[in-house]
Structure 1
Amino acid sequence: MDLFFGWRTAVLAVAAAILLPLAAGLWISLRNRPASRTLAALLVVMTGVFVPWLIGFAGFYDRWWWLTYAPFSNALLVPPLLYLHAFALVYGRWPALAWRHLLPGAVQFTYQTAAFLLPTPLKHRWADLAFTAGDMIAALLLAISFVVYGVWIIRLLRRYRLALSQERSDDARFATAWLTHAATAYPLLAIVWAGWLLVDAAIPLGYTGLMPLYAAIAGFALYLGIAGWRFLVLPFPTLDALRIPEISSLPGRDWQAQGLEWAGRTREGGWHRDDELTLRRLAALLATNESYLSRALNEGLGTGFSAFVNGLRCEDVAAALAAGDPRPLLVIALDAGFASKASFNRAFQRRYGRSPSAYRASHKP
């Protein structure tokens, strides 16, 4: 039988041609190495997931039947690698005994390899017996894995974003928006992937029926790889370093008054205009410690560190706009200490309930 290279093969081949060099570049990257190498492994695994369809649409399995059970696709490795990548990004390392997370994928790979090495007549009989049941079991395990690791990833990223907002004023620089988008895309991928496989196991959809699923997997892998390449160059603060030590309660301390005093001194000193201001730096400027400052902000003023500093920056921008400052909004925002236009727009909308441009328009004579 002749091979046929149609548009389906072309789409998946282009995705693989981008993903594999991207994975190689991430593997040799010197920045955030644990997270970079985990993401590289994830991209290779996700490429392997759609390789059987890439070569299947071209007619490889019809021409060379012995390729059946070739261990290209190990989908059970995808959810744990997604979790390990998020963990490495947040902590700068893998968790203890991380290899246990990879055991289901290793079992799947071992099973496929053993079936692939069977003599061809025996492989024929085993495929007739086990294909449908094996696909159903794999789809169920994948669905469970997506749910469990999805919950862990979302909790981990929420904890990291909260810790960043309590410690740094430039928390938006560390790809928190990207982490949020990834956490949102993850359950969508899980629903589409596991759901489509379960439907296919019950009612076979055939090669063409599964093409949208594998195109979606390739697209998600490309998104992860390109976004990861952009953001992994940042020196992400680790979650361990962001944790603020607890202190015992101090009876009689008026944290609200203390917070108001320190807020006034911060405003007068213009310290909030430092776009890399941290809790530690501001505590040193105020001649106090991080724990006291954190408590004064959270208990006294009812706000986190990032929201407090960005609120002062928004006040500066609002004062400039009310005074008729003709400079572009971004220039005013950068002078006030914001690191990006996106973080400025979000903070200003949250503080004043309208966009900066609408605020400026309302103060024009």
Structure 2
Amino acid sequence: MSEPALYLGWRVAILGSTSLQLLLLAAAIATQSPNARANRLLTAFLIVLVGVVAPYTLGYAGAYDAWRGLTFAPLAIPLALPPLLYAYTHALVRGRRPDRFGLHLGPPLIQFGYFVVCFALPPDAKWDWYTGGHRHLVGPAFDLALLVSLGLYAASCLRLLAAYRRDLAEARSDDDRFATGWLTRVIVALVAVLAVYAAFTLWDWLSGGIDFFQETGLYLALVAIGLYLGIEGWRHATLRFPVPEAAPPDPVPAEPPVAPDWRAVATGFDTRLREAGWASEPDLSLPVLARRLATNTGRLSRAINLGLGVNFSAWINGVRAEAVASALDGGSTGDLLTLAFDAGFSSKASFNRAFQARFGVAPSRYRRHVSHHDFPPPGPEMRRAAG
């Protein structure tokens, strides 16, 4: 009797090598102690993703044709991917797992248990069920559940990240360091894969079955997204993401208070900030500045929002941009990035954005034209923060 033949083609090479890289990244991320909760959840996500790809890697190699007993091997649990991605996002920006996280894992545990039971069936019964009830009933139900789950969790992740960025902009001047744009791109890419997967599923239902070789592009895209997420997750594994603190409620006064002149209050805070040079501190935060101004975070935040019409990040970075512009006005020939770091910016990207927002031009253009008399001066009012 001849040995079963396996086919190690380009699909197996790409999926297999990428799966190995994902496992190596998962191991590296799991060893990082900062953001330990988030890192463990990302590790779990990457391992589950490798499991989701594994049946296709084995299938392209001909393993299921050679060993039909592998049918229903509980390797792929795709229903675990959406809740793990959401839990990772939540742990990253909130410092903890979602409430009642065990309930989120109910559907994937049911899916895993189903595959374990089916895998234990006698070979003939297993194959009959795979080609019958599973293919026509259970498989489509799992596909539909995955589509709904990924859509709902992706929307929840995007809302969570948007709220986090708003909270950071109200509390920190270095919020750009924690913008999590890479995670947003991963989620958007997964939604795109969701659309492709939905098209394949619909095609499968309408045509009565498609060859899994026709799904090659889908799984190549999936491992590419996973690899990007793993690399970015590893790059950010040691960056401790701040958790914005909720402002304490103001005490209830005995009589209705007279509304303060927030413009005047904000002007006073702004003057003291500039005189003390506190804006040059890269990690300046709302609580730190409130203590130095001998006020509370709620009053300071309202003064900035209502008196200046901007959030905390836009205010501080606007002052920093003005410091760079002042140096250029004074004839400084220093490197722009050096001037930006001296002013308190933590990255080139945040400097360019803040300068453009404050003066309406890029810093390099400002430098080129600053000596021209017809160069329009910056507006006296700080521009309103976007969003």
Could you say which TM-score interval applies, normalised by the shorter chain? over 0.9
Q: Please tell me the residue identity of whatever aligns with 1:326.
A: T
Select the residue among 218, 243, 251 that pairs with 1:213. Answer: 218
Select the residue among 103, 125, 129 that pairs with 2:128. Answer: 125
Count of aligned residue pairs for this structure pair: 363
Residues 324 and 363 of structure 1 are in contact (CA less than 8 Å); yes or no, is this contact kept in structure 2? no
Q: Please tell me the residue identity of whatever aligns with 1:299.
A: L
Q: Please tell me the residue identity of whatever aligns with 1:160.
A: Y
**d(CA) in 1 for partners of 2:341 and 2:21?**
36
**d(CA) in 2 for partners of 1:56 and 1:8?**
10
Question: How far off is 1:40 after superposition?
Answer: 0.3
Question: TM-score scaled by structure 1?
Answer: 0.95
Distance verdict in 2 for CA 1:99–1:283, change over 3 Å: same
Q: Please tell me the residue identity of whatever aligns with 1:171.
A: D
Distance verdict in 2 for CA 1:350–1:181, change over 3 Å: farther
* Residues 91-133 of structure 1 deviation map (CA, whole Å, 9 limit, x = unaligned): 2111232110011111111111111111011112111212143
Residues 32 and 237 of structure 2 are in contact (CA less than 8 Å); yes or no, is this contact kept in structure 1? no
Map residues 5-24 of structure 1 onto 2, 5 A cutoff.
5-24=8-27
Residues 320 and 345 of structure 2 are in contact (CA less than 8 Å); yes or no, is this contact kept in structure 1? yes
Residues 89 and 236 of structure 1 are in contact (CA less than 8 Å); yes or no, is this contact kept in structure 2? yes
Question: How far off is 1:227 after superposition?
Answer: 0.4
Select the residue among 204, 223, 226 that pairs with 2:228. Answer: 223
Residues 172 and 283 of structure 2 are in contact (CA less than 8 Å); yes or no, is this contact kept in structure 1? yes
Select the residue among 109, 119, 129 that pairs with 1:106. Answer: 109
List runs of 5+ in structure 2 lacking aligned partners: 373-387
1:172 aligns with 2:172: no
- Give 1 or 2 for the bigger CA radius of gyration: 2
1:353 aligns with 2:360: yes
Q: Please tell me the residue identity of whatever aligns with 1:17.
A: L
Counterpart residue number, 2:156: 152
Q: Please tell me the residue identity of whatever aligns with 1:234.
A: L
Distance verdict in 2 for CA 1:35–1:300, change over 3 Å: same
1:284 aligns with 2:284: no
Q: Please tell me the residue identity of whatever aligns with 1:346.
A: R
Residues 13 and 54 of structure 1 are in contact (CA less than 8 Å); yes or no, is this contact kept in structure 2? yes
Q: Please tell me the residue identity of whatever aligns with 1:177.
A: G
List runs of 5+ in structure 1 lacking aligned partners: none
How large is the Cα RMSD of the aligned pairs?
Answer: 1.7
* Residues 307-362 of structure 1 deviation map (CA, whole Å, 9 limit, x = unaligned): 11001011111222233321221111101100011111122222222221122222
**d(CA) in 2 for partners of 1:187 and 1:325?**
48
Counterpart residue number, 2:270: 263
Identity %: 42
Residues 135 and 201 of structure 1 are in contact (CA less than 8 Å); yes or no, is this contact kept in structure 2? no
**d(CA) in 1 for partners of 2:173 and 2:324?**
16
Residues 140 and 198 of structure 1 are in contact (CA less than 8 Å); yes or no, is this contact kept in structure 2? no
Select the residue among 176, 193, 196 that pairs with 2:200. Answer: 196
* Residues 276-321 of structure 1 deviation map (CA, whole Å, 9 limit, x = unaligned): 1011111122121211111100121111111110010111112222
Counterpart residue number, 1:26: 29
Question: How far off is 1:364 after superposition?
Answer: 4.6
Q: Which deviates further from its counterpart, 28-37 or 304-313?
A: 28-37
3-state SS in 2 of match to 1:210: helix
Question: TM-score scaled by structure 2?
Answer: 0.89
Q: Which deviates further from its counterpart, 100-109 or 132-141?
A: 132-141
Select the residue among 238, 243, 248 that pairs with 1:245. Answer: 248
Question: How far off is 1:46 after superposition?
Answer: 0.7
**d(CA) in 1 for partners of 2:85 and 2:346?**
29
3-state SS in 2 of match to 1:72: coil
Q: Which deviates further from its counterpart, 256-265 or 168-177?
A: 168-177
3-state SS in 1 of match to 2:105: helix
3-state SS in 2 of match to 1:154: helix
Q: Which deviates further from its counterpart, 141-150 or 59-68?
A: 141-150
